[in-house]
C-alpha cells in the first residue's frame, strides 16, 4: 500500500521557484490494483511517479511506502559507459541479489535477446536494444508494486508478443502504477485510474470513467 | 518468479546500504580502471612520471639531501601523500555529478558514491605507493618506513581531510555553481604552499606560521618523519591540528549532505 499525503511539488527554474506542478495530492494506492495515471502533457504524471519512486522529493507532504516498490522503470537508470552485463550486475547488487546474481543475469540476458551485445558498452546500443534491456531488467525482480513510466517493448513482432505476455503476467501478480501515452495500453493493463488535473489527483475505480473525465476537460 | 513467497518482506536498512556501497564501489572501480584504453596504466603512469621527473631534477641536478634526509625518499613520500589528498578530494567532489543515472534507484543516496569513491581512491593510492616505493627500494634507497604507525596515522588524516573537503566542496558547488572556479583556483597553489617540492622548514618566522595554517603541510611533514627518523621537520607540526581539520570538515560535509541531500539530486 502506498499512502500519499498533501503532496506539493514545484521545480527550480532560472528565475527562482517555478509554478506548482502538484498542489495537494492525497491518495492511497492499494497493493493489488493496477492504476493508470492520466493527464495532459505537463500535468505532473512523471513527477508524481518519480516522487512515489523516491527519486525526487516533494516540497511539502509525504509518501509512505508500505511494500516492496520498484524503481520508476523505463526512464534512465543505466550508465552508458558500462556494458549491459555490468549495468545489470549493478541493479542486482543494489537490490540485494549478490547471492543469486548469476541466475538473474542469465534471465536478463536471455529475455532481452541481446546475445553478444550484452557484453558491449551501452552507448553502442540502438534505442531498441536499450529498451529491451530495460524491459528485461524490470522483470528480473520481485516487487509488490511496479512503477512503469512508458516502459515500451521495442523489437520485432515475436519479441513484442513475448514482452506483452510477460508484462501481463507481472501485472496480474503484483500491483502496477503506470504512465503511458497510448490509451489502449492503459486500458489493457489497468482497472483503476488516477486523473491528474490542475495539480490535484482524482481517483476513479474504473479507468473508463477517468478517460471520460479527462475528455470532458479537453472539450470544455 | 516463484520464490516471491519465501523472500524477506523488507531488507534491513543497513543491509541495503552495504549492498549499495558494494555495488557502487565495483562500478566506480570499473570506471576508473577500464574507462578508456589502458586507463589503469595511466592511473599508475601519471604519478610515476611526475615523481620521476621531479626526483630527477632534485636528486641529480640540485641536491642530495633535504633537512638531513635522502631527497629521493623525501620527494616521493611527500608527493604520494599529497596526491592521496588531492585525488580523494577531487574524486569525492564530483562523486554525485558523475553518478546521476544511478539515483534512479532510491536505495542509492548522494552520500553513497562519495564514500565509495574515497575508499576506492585510498585503495588505488596504496597500490600505486607500494609499487613506487618498492621500485626505489630495489634501486638502493631506504624506502621502508621507520615508524610505520606514524605514517599510517598521518596518511589516514590526509585521506580523511580529502574526503571531508570533497564532501563540503560538492555541496558548495551545487548551491553556488561559481564556487567551482574558486575551488579550482584554491587547489592550484596548494601544491606549492604545502611544501611538496621545497622544505617549509627553510622558511623563516613569522612567515612559516602563516604557511603552517594549511593542515596538509602538517600531514606531509609527519609522513616524512615516519619514513626518515633523522629528518629535520618543521618544529611547529601537530597531528592534533591535522585531525581537527579532518574531523571538522568530515562532520561539516556530513551535515551539509544531510541538510542538502535533496538539493543534490532534485531537479
CATH number at residue A196: 3.40.50.300
Quick check: bond before A208 cis, omega within 30? no
Among A71, A50, A76, A51, CA closest to A61:
A51
Q: Per the domain annotation, does A7 fall within a domain? A: yes
Nearest to B101 among A53, A76, A96 (CB): A76
B5 occurs within a structural domain: no
Q: Do B19 and A94 touch (CB under 8 A)?
A: yes
Q: Would you say residue A180 lies in a domain?
A: yes
Mean pLDDT of the B10-33 span: 86
Would you say residue A76 lies in a domain? no
Instruction: Tell me how many domains chain A contains.
Output: 1
Q: Band the pLDDT of A32: cuts 50, 70, 90.
A: confident
Q: Quick check: A173 and B5 in contact, CB under 8 A?
A: no
- Cβ contacts of A86 on chain B, cutoff 8 Å: 27, 30
* Residue B6 resides in a domain: no
pLDDT reading at B7 higher than 50: no
Count the domains in chain B.
1
Give A170-187 pLDDT, tens digit per residue.
Answer: 877 888 888 877 788 788
- Which residues of chain B have a CB within 8 Å of the CB of A93? 19-20, 22-23, 26
User: Stretch B188-204: mean pLDDT, rounded?
Assistant: 85
How far is B115 from chain A, CA to nearest CA, in Å? Answer: 16
- What number is the average pLDDT over the span B253-261? 87
Measured CA to CA, the distance from residue A23 to residue B137 in angstroms comes to 68
Interchain contact, A55 vs B105, CB within 8 Å: yes
Asked if B196 contacts B83 with a C-beta cutoff of 8 angstroms, the reply is: no
> Averaging pLDDT over each range in B56-70, B182-196, B241-255, which range is the top one?
B241-255
If you average pLDDT over residues A68-96, what whole number do you get? Answer: 84
For the stretch B122-135, what's the b/e string if a residue is b when 16 or more beta carbons lie within 10 angstroms of its beta carbon?
bebbeebbeebbee
The pTM of the full predicted model, rounded to 2 decimals, is 0.85
Q: Which domain holds residue B137?
A: 12-265
Question: Using CA atoms, how far apart are residues A31 and A73, in angstroms rounded to an integer?
Answer: 18
**Does the pLDDT at position B262 exceed 80?**
no
Phi, psi of A126 (to 5 degrees): -80, 165
pLDDT value, residue B33:
85
Of B79, B73, B166, B189, the C-alpha closest to B119 is B166
Task: Name chain A contacts of B4, Cβ cutoff 8 Å.
Answer: 142, 173
Q: What pLDDT, on a 0 to 100 scale, did the predictor assign at position A220?
A: 63
Mean pLDDT of chain A: 82
Mean pLDDT of A11-21: 80
Please answer yes or no on whether B30 and A86 come within 8 Å at the CB atom.
yes
Q: Give A104-110's long-range contacts (Cβ < 8 A, gap of 24+).
A: A104/A140, A104/A141, A107/A136, A107/A139, A107/A140, A108/A84, A108/A133, A108/A136, A108/A137, A108/A140, A109/A84, A109/A85, A109/A136
Q: B239: how many CB neighbours lie within 10 A of its CB?
A: 14
Q: What is the mean pLDDT of residues A67-88?
A: 83
> Could you tell me how far CA A218 lies from the centroid of its own chain?
25
**Within-domain flag for A132:** no
A72/B104 Cβ within 8 A: yes
Q: Given an 8 Å threshold on Cβ–Cβ distance, is B105 in contact with A89?
A: no
Cβ within 8 Å of residue B190, ≥6 positions away: B86, B214, B216
Tell me whether residue B221 is exposed, middle or buried, using C-beta atoms within 10 angstroms of its C-beta: 0 to 12, 13 to 18, 19 or more.
buried
Compute the average pLDDT of residues A14-32.
82
Chain A residues with beta carbon closer than 8 angstroms to that of B7: 142
Flag whether pLDDT at A152 surpasses 70: no
Q: Is residue A114 part of a domain?
A: no
**Is A93 in CB contact (< 8 Å) with chain B?**
yes
Query: Quick one: cell of B222?
Result: 609527519
| ipTM over cut 0.85 | no
Q: Does residue B26 belong to any structural domain of this protein?
A: yes
Whether residue B237 lies inside any domain: the answer is yes
Asked whether residue B1 is domain-assigned, the answer is no
Q: Given this model, what pLDDT does residue B162 score?
A: 94
pLDDT value at position B25?
92
With a cut of 90, say whether residue A79 has pLDDT above it.
no
Band the pLDDT of A166: cuts 50, 70, 90: confident
Provide mean pLDDT across the span A152-169: 76
Q: Is the pLDDT at A115 greater than 90, yes or no?
A: no
Does the pLDDT of residue B88 top 90, yes or no?
yes
| C-alpha dist (Å) from residue A113 to A109, A124, A133, A156, B56 | 6, 16, 9, 11, 56
Q: Is B52 exposed, middle or buried (0-12, 13-18, 19+ CB in 10 A)?
A: middle
Let me know if residue A166 belongs to a domain.
no
**pLDDT value at B1 more than 60:** no
The residue range of the domain holding A17 is 1-68+144-152+175-220
Residue B3 has pLDDT above 70, yes or no: no
Which band of pLDDT confidence, cut at 50, 70 and 90, is reported for residue B116?
very high
Asked if the structure places residue A27 within a domain, the reply is: yes
Which of B87, B88, B102, B81 is closest to B21 using CA atoms? B102
Longest CA–CA span in chain B (Å) reads 75
What is the distance between the alpha carbons of residues B174 and A161, in angstroms, rounded to a whole number? 45
Exposure class string for A67-80: b at 16+ Cβ within 10 A, else e = bbbbbbbbbbbbbe
Is the pLDDT at B171 greater than 50? The verdict is yes
Is it the case that residue A88 has pLDDT exceeding 80? yes
Compare A69 and B62 and report the one with higher pLDDT.
Answer: A69
Considering the domain boundaries, does residue B16 fall inside one? yes
Q: How far is A88 from chain B (nearest CA, A)?
A: 11
Which stretches of chain A are DSSP H helices?
Answer: 45-52, 84-94, 101-112, 127-139, 157-173, 183-189, 207-219
Most B CBs within 10 Å: which of A94, A166, A169, as the mutation test of the B interface? Answer: A94
3-state secondary structure of B130: helix
**Better-scored residue on pLDDT, A219 or B76:** B76
Q: How far is CA B60 from CA A21, B6, B55, B57, in A?
A: 68, 69, 8, 6
Amino acid at each position: 500500500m502506498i499512502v500519499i499525503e498533501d503532496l506539493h511539488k514545484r521545480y527550480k527554474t532560472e528565475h527562482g521557484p517555478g509554478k506548482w506542478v502538484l498542489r495537494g495530492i492525497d491518495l492511497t494506492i492499494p497493493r493489488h490494483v493496477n492504476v493508470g495515471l492520466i493527464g495532459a502533457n505537463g500535468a505532473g504524471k512523471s513527477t508524481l511517479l518519480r516522487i512515489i519512486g523516491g527519486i525526487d522529493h516533494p516540497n511539502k507532504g509525504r509518501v509512505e511506502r508500505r511494500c516492496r516498490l520498484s524503481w520508476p522503470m523505463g526512464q534512465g537508470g543505466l550508465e552508458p559507459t558500462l556494458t549491459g552485463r555490468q549495468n545489470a550486475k549493478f541493479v542486482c547488487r543494489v537490490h540485494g541479489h549478490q547471492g543469486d546474481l548469476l541466475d538473474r543475469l542469465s534471465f536478463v540476458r536471455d529475455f532481452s535477446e541481446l546475445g553478444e551485445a550484452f557484453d558491449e558498452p551501452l552507448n553502442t546500443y540502438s534505442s531498441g536494444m536499450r529498451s529491451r534491456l530495460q524491459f528485461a531488467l524490470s522483470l528480473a525482480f520481485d516487487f509488490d508494486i511496479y512503477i512503469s513510466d512508458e516502459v515500451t517493448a521495442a523489437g520485432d513482432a515475436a519479441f513484442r508478443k513475448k514482452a506483452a505476455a510477460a508484462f501481463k503476467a507481472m501485472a496480474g501478480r503484483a500491483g502496477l502504477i503506470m504512465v503511458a501515452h497510448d490509451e489502449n495500453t492503459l486500458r489493457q493493463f489497468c482497472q483503476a485510474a488516477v486523473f491528474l488535473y490542475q495539480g490535484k489527483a482524482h481517483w476513479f475505480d474504473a479507468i473508463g470513467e477517468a478517460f471520460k473525465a479527462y475528455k470532458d476537460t479537453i472539450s470544455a | 518468479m516463484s520464490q516471491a513467497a519465501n523472500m524477506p518482506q523488507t531488507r534491513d536498512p543497513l543491509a541495503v546500504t552495504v549492498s549499495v556501497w558494494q555495488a557502487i564501489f565495483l562500478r566506480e572501480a570499473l570506471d576508473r580502471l577500464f574507462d578508456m584504453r589502458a586507463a589503469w596504466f595511466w592511473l599508475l603512469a601519471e604519478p610515476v612520471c611526475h615523481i620521476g621527473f621531479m626526483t630527477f631534477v632534485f636528486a641529480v641536478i640540485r641536491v642530495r639531501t633535504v633537512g638531513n634526509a635522502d631527497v629521493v625518499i623525501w620527494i616521493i613520500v611527500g608527493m604520494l601523500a599529497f596526491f592521496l589528498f588531492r585525488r580523494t578530494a577531487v574524486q569525492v567532489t564530483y562523486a554525485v555529478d558523475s553518478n546521476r543515472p544511478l539515483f534512479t534507484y532510491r536505495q542509492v543516496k548522494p552520500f553513497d558514491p562519495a564514500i565509495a569513491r574515497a575508499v576506492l581512491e585510498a585503495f588505488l593510492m596504496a597500490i600505486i605507493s607500494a609499487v613506487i616505493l618498492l621500485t626505489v627500494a630495489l634501486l638502493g634507497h631506504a624506502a621502508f618506513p621507520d615508524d610505520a604507525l606514524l605514517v599510517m596515522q598521518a596518511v589516514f588524516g590526509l585521506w580523511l581531510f580529502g574526503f571531508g573537503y570533497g564532501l563540503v566542496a560538492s555541496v558548495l558547488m551545487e548551491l553556488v555553481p561559481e564556487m567551482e572556479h574558486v575551488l579550482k583556483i584554491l587547489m592550484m597553489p596548494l601544491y606549492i604552499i604545502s611544501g611538496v617540492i621545497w622544505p617549509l622548514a627553510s622558511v623563516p618566522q613569522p612567515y612559516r606560521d602563516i604557511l603552517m595554517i594549511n593542515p596538509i603541510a602538517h600531514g606531509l611533514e609527519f609522513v616524512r618523519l615516519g619514513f626518515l627518523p633523522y629528518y629535520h621537520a618543521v618544529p611547529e607540526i601537530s597531528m592534533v591540528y591535522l585531525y581537527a581539520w579532518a574531523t571538522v570538515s568530515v562532520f561539516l560535509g556530513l551535515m551539509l549532505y544531510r541538510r542538502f541531500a535533496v538539493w543534490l539530486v532534485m531537479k
